[in-house]
Amino acid sequence: MEVKVGKKIFNGIAIGKIKFYAKAENKVVRTKISDTDAEYARYEAARDKAIEQLNMLYEKALIEVGEANAEIFNVHVMLLEDDDYNESVQNIITTQWVNAEYATAATGDNFAEMFANMDDEYFRARSADIKDITERVVTILCGGTENNDMGDEPVIIVAEDLAPSETVQLDKSKLLAFVTRLGSANSHTAILARTMGIPALVGVEIDEEWNGKAGIVDGYEGKFLVDPDMDTLEGYFKKKAHDDEQKKLLQELKGKENITKNGQKINLYANIGSPNDLISVMENDAGGIGLFRSEFLYLESTTYPTEEEQFEAYKKVVETMGGKKVIIRTLDIGADKQIEYFELDKEDNPALGYRAIRICLTRPDIFRTQLRALFRASAYGNLAIMYPMIISVKEVRQIKEISKSVREELKAEGIEVGNVEEGIMIETPAAAVMSDELAKEVDFFSIGTNDLTQYTLAIDRQNAKLDSFYDAHHPAVLRLIQMVTENAHKAGIWSGICGELGADTELTETFLKMGLDELSVSPGCILPVRKVVREVE
Ligand code: PEP
Ligand code: MG
């Protein structure tokens, strides 16, 4: 038995025969041609056929993995229709008098290299897409077909790498898992694996000798076991049976209401940090997004993200969620989330320092840019905004003034703005104590129990040494949650929890009793919390 380790892409256990996925090999030979127009026409015909295939793949993916994931094939079509790409192929054919296969492969190499060297992570990731579309056109020009035959029995696909188009073409009914040597955890292929719910590992050292042998993919531990002995196999059969049972039970809760036995309902929303997390939001049947930590946009960037970049990200999330509520939290940096280009001073007590709304209120340029992007995106769905680290009514009034002026500015420019709920996070004891006054100013409260606990108990949430003093269920925190919720309801607004405590199923019943209207948890916790809600009398 051999045991290899890799990066986990999706949880789960698969046991079955290993199949090596061999790509159709295209050997491109550079040959001289005499009729450049005819050669370019050959290229155009192959390109059009590739576009036709991609459109079909889009339709297939739309059914199997949803619109957001199918979108990659539209991107591929756009890349094939790109003038620069096509002009490069034409240029190589006409200036060098060479065949279309060579001109396409050379263009693909040049463009892929150019994208790979770009600063922007999004564009760097497009390098793989360029290779994929180029390979598709070259295969057509070479008269080849794609290797798509998986045989009769379900298999674990092992490959050097898998392009998104290859992943989607794999026959899902025969695909147990996949393991690749290349590929990153955030590649489209990995995203597709998550959406398909297939155990997957990347970054695994692979060996062609394994073809046909038995294998076990352990997506929980990030292990790939080849040719397992009987004891290991037996142990994994048991693990898999237990795993399947748990997953099946939770799956049955999809589409069901979050309702207690006596009819009390609660909204279960998801916390996300990036548009990439939308897949698990869908997969886990979230009723909306209760916390989109917008700082990811800033953390991933080497400079301040522009209004346009932010607008595109927010629009994508609200559009994907259809009419469901998407609560986007404005920038919350400082403390443990440091960003070099903000040039924040070193502080003795960063958790009590210059962070979140304090930065936004003293740097209105940054705040206004984000608000403009948010209000613009609000025209495309059900967007709500919430403000972090609030301690006073004065701050909220200041925020409201800025927010009003941004909305007026957009309207004066003729830009449509949706109906936006504006709420605050209750993360400080000050906000909790003042929640009766604050409730008169805003549309909702979302209790950030991670910080509320840290500030109430005076325990640094980053300091593992204090774990023995830390009590997530401390009555002081629970009393504050109750008080905040009562004050919200007195003022006629709703109250939810978006900190980690919201997913603590030991407290679900308590939260229901307190009358909380919403719990926003990481996507994978939605169904387990729903299960408990439905069991409460
Ligand atoms: C919180 O403090 O509970 C919260 C949700 O915000 P973050 O964890 O991002 O500080
Ligand atoms: Mg917080």
What does the H/E/C string look like for 199-221? Answer: CEEECCCCCHHHCCCEEEEECCC
Residue 498 beta carbon below 6 angstroms from any ligand 1 atom: yes
Please name the residue whose Cα sits nearest to atom 3 of ligand 1.
Answer: 448
Asked if residues 230 and 15 have their Cβ atoms less than 8 Å apart, the reply is: no
> With a threshold of 0.75, does the pTM exceed it?
no
| Residue 360 annotated as catalytic | no
User: Which two tokens mark 342?
Assistant: 């903000």
| Residue 498 annotated as catalytic | yes
The catalytic position among 142, 242, 360, 498 is 498
Is it true that domain 2-19+150-168+175-182+199-241 has CATH number 3.50.30.10? yes
Q: What is the pLDDT of residue 61?
A: 78
Please name the residue whose Cα sits nearest to atom 8 of ligand 1.
Answer: 450
- Write the CATH number of the domain with boundaries 260-535: 3.20.20.60
Residue 450 beta carbon below 6 angstroms from any ligand 1 atom: yes
Q: What is the pLDDT of residue 371?
A: 98
Q: Which of 271, 274, 331, 332 to mutate to test the pocket of ligand 1 (most atoms within 8 A of CB)?
A: 332
User: Which numbered atom of ligand 1 lies nearest the CA of 450?
Assistant: 3
Q: What is the pLDDT of residue 439?
A: 98
Q: What is the pLDDT of residue 194?
A: 62
72: closest CA among 118, 80, 104?
A: 80
List pLDDT tens digits, range 347-361. 999 899 999 999 999
Residue intervals of the chain classified under CATH 3.20.20.60 are 260-535
Residue intervals of the chain classified under CATH 1.10.274.10 are 36-141
Q: Tell me how far the alpha carbon of residue 375 lies from the centroid of ligand 2, in angstroms.
A: 23
User: Which two tokens mark 145?
Assistant: 């077909």
Q: What is the pLDDT of residue 522?
A: 83
CA 236 to chain centre: 30
- Indicate the residue type of 187: S
Residue intervals of the chain classified under CATH 3.50.30.10 are 2-19+150-168+175-182+199-241
**Which ligand ends up closest to the CA of 522?**
1
Q: What is the pLDDT of residue 191?
A: 59
Q: What is the pLDDT of residue 195?
A: 54
* Highest CATH level, class, for 36-141: mainly alpha
Cα separation, 45 vs 437, in Å, equals: 68
Residue 285 beta carbon below 6 angstroms from any ligand 1 atom: no
Detail the residues annotated as belonging to a binding site for Mg(2+): 427, 451
Give the chain's residues under pLDDT 50.
none
Residue 327 beta carbon below 6 angstroms from any ligand 1 atom: no
